[in-house]
Amino acid sequence: MTGPVDRPAPPPLPPVTPDPWTHLAGLTPARLALGRSGASLPSREVLKLGLAHAKARDAVHAAMDGDALANALAGLGRDTVTVESAAPDRATYLRRPDFGRRLSARSRALLSGAGEGVASAAGADIAVVVADGLSASAVDLNAVPLIEALLPRFAGRSLAPVVLAHQARVALGDEVGALLGARLVVMLIGERPGLSAADSLGAYLTYGPRVGLTDAARNCVSNIRAAGLGPDAAAAKIAWLVDRAFALSLTGVALKDGSDAAELPMSEKPRLSGN
């Protein structure tokens, strides 16, 4: 009977070499100054990347909690209408973006006036649409606080019931707004998750909504979340853009966001040179 075989100890793992840009890592959630172990990333950074990827995948496939949103908005005094796009399920929605841009037949009939409370809202100044998009978690976390911050800023303008849209893309707001006869649509939608944020909400503003518009006709306020643009700051930007949209009767590339300059003291505002 032979005794245990003496095996040589494995070589020690190379130490993690620090990155000279480490001081910049605290300024951004971007992956900077990760260091290296030999020729590879440190194990801790590989694991963090895997976790971020899993969170992004979960955000894309999760379902928006429409009932919870409707109850929360009822607490703010807002009625809601639930619609869905022409995509019958999540798998189809992800494969066919064009289906997510148009309403289902049932939803089209509902917004055309067949639904209780919808016909009476026709011709409202603003229609707010809350859509799952590519991150339902972004909507569940951020939509209600943002709407709560927007309501006092929309005082004096008529509002349609909040439309909760499932399996929706940004352009679905055009058809919703057109059917409601709204002058302007504010589409709040979950943005495509990245590896730094899976809970980012975007707000897309479209004046004179109608089917067939392109993104050149919209203004966007993005990265609305606790670790990005908070609800109060986002609401201030959106309200500024809405006021300018009504003043100019347009949104899109011709409407520039001057909300930051508008909040500066007069002495700090940029001077515009004229010819």
- Our CA angle for 168, 63, 88, nearest 5°, is 50
> Would residue 115 count as lying in a domain?
yes
Give the model's pLDDT for residue 269.
47
> Would residue 199 count as lying in a domain?
yes
Give the model's pLDDT for residue 249.
97
In contact, 225 and 202? CB cutoff 8 Å: no
Q: What's the CA gap between 173 and 224, in Å, rounded?
A: 19
Give the model's pLDDT for residue 196.
80
Q: Which domain holds residue 228?
A: 65-254
Give the model's pLDDT for residue 46.
87
- According to DSSP, the β-strands at 162-166 and 80-84 are parallel
Q: What's the CA gap between 127 and 112, in Å, rounded?
A: 14
Q: Which H helix or E strand runs over 231?
A: helix 231-248
Give the model's pLDDT for residue 266.
46
> Would residue 107 count as lying in a domain?
yes
Q: Is 60 annotated as a binding residue?
A: no
Long-range contacts of 253-260 (CB under 8 A, 24+ apart): 253/216, 255/219, 257/219, 257/221
CATH label of the domain that carries residue 208: 3.40.50.11240
Sign of CA dihedral 212, 216, 219, 225: positive
Q: What's the CA gap between 111 and 175, in Å, rounded?
A: 10
Which of these, 226, 223, 232, lies nearest to 259 by C-alpha position?
Answer: 232
Question: What is the amino acid identity at position 192?
Answer: R
> Would residue 74 count as lying in a domain?
yes
Give the model's pLDDT for residue 197.
83
> Would residue 128 count as lying in a domain?
yes
Q: Is 45 annotated as a binding residue?
A: no
Domain count, the chain: 1
> Would residue 8 count as lying in a domain?
no
Local confidence pLDDT in tens for the 275 residues of the chain = 566 667 777 766 667 777 777 777 777 777 778 877 777 888 888 898 899 889 888 888 888 999 999 999 999 999 999 999 999 999 999 999 999 999 999 999 999 874 455 655 668 999 999 999 999 999 999 999 999 999 999 999 999 999 999 999 999 999 999 999 999 999 999 999 888 888 999 999 999 999 999 999 999 999 999 989 999 999 999 999 999 999 999 999 999 998 887 654 544 444 443 33
Output the pTM of the full model. Answer: 0.83
> Would residue 59 count as lying in a domain?
no
